[in-house]
Amino acid sequence: MAGGILVVGSLNCDYVATVARMPAPGETLSGLDLQIHPGGKGANQAVAAGRMTDASMEVRMLGCVGRDAAGALLLDSVRRAGVETDAISELEDVPTGSALIWVEASGQNSIVVIPGANARLSPDDIRAQEGLYWKTRVALHQLETPLETVHAALALGRQRRVITILDPAPAQTLPAEMLDLADLLTPNESEAAILLGEAPRALTVEDAYAMGDRLLELGTRAVILKLGAEGAVFLNRLQRFHVPGFAVRAVDTTAAGDTFNGALAAAIAEGMEMQPAVRFACAASALSVTRRGAQPSVPSRDETEALLAANPEKP
């Protein structure tokens, strides 16, 4: 079906430890809780896109898992969100990717990712699924699979006139020729700073516009800079605007950015104008931080629209 969403990326099993505070180097600290959730930036974004669309919009995922219990957990999770998984390879000789996540009582988190099967996703795998791009309007990408694979996926998307979204996370510098293939770059504050070779810092809206202008100079066609509780700013060569955040009580920020991207892709694929699309994504992201876990925290379309209705835009 033309107009669908394709997510190219990672699938991880998340092991989430809740702690009162982060341990100091060399310190052993008693944790408060341990939970196991399906995660991975790619799978999180696929689940978000799946929950934000109805049966008329197909969402597909391209990636790799191990043929193990963690892989089965992930496949079940994305399928229950309505995501097609035929292009997810189950590999025999490598474990499913995993993430070790520490979440403080404040909701802030620290994450260590072990790639596992995600490292096996290759440019050849992308080219073997070229037919998916004929059915795709929006393609989502992240950086938890090899860079050459992400580059190949972006290049194929550009060739097939797909709207390419690149979430540059985990944060790292990227070659200009790769950024040039992204129609829309969606970093948070830290990721934007690292792309520009700067130390991460909190940004005002005006700071974000200035940083966004510099990101446009790197080659991408448009930027959405995610500002957490402050919402997001959008800018391209012709337009710029700020969407304020939604007031919620944060308990876990894991997958907030992924929820934003999946919801954004759904809105764009449906033909929504950019400003309401960004506001829709901000609302979905805000709801996600009120719950623990990655994919379990992703809200439904109805919940997102209810939050938007309860917070009408100010004239």
**Which residues are catalytically annotated?**
258
Count of CB atoms situated within 10 Å of the CB of 175: 11
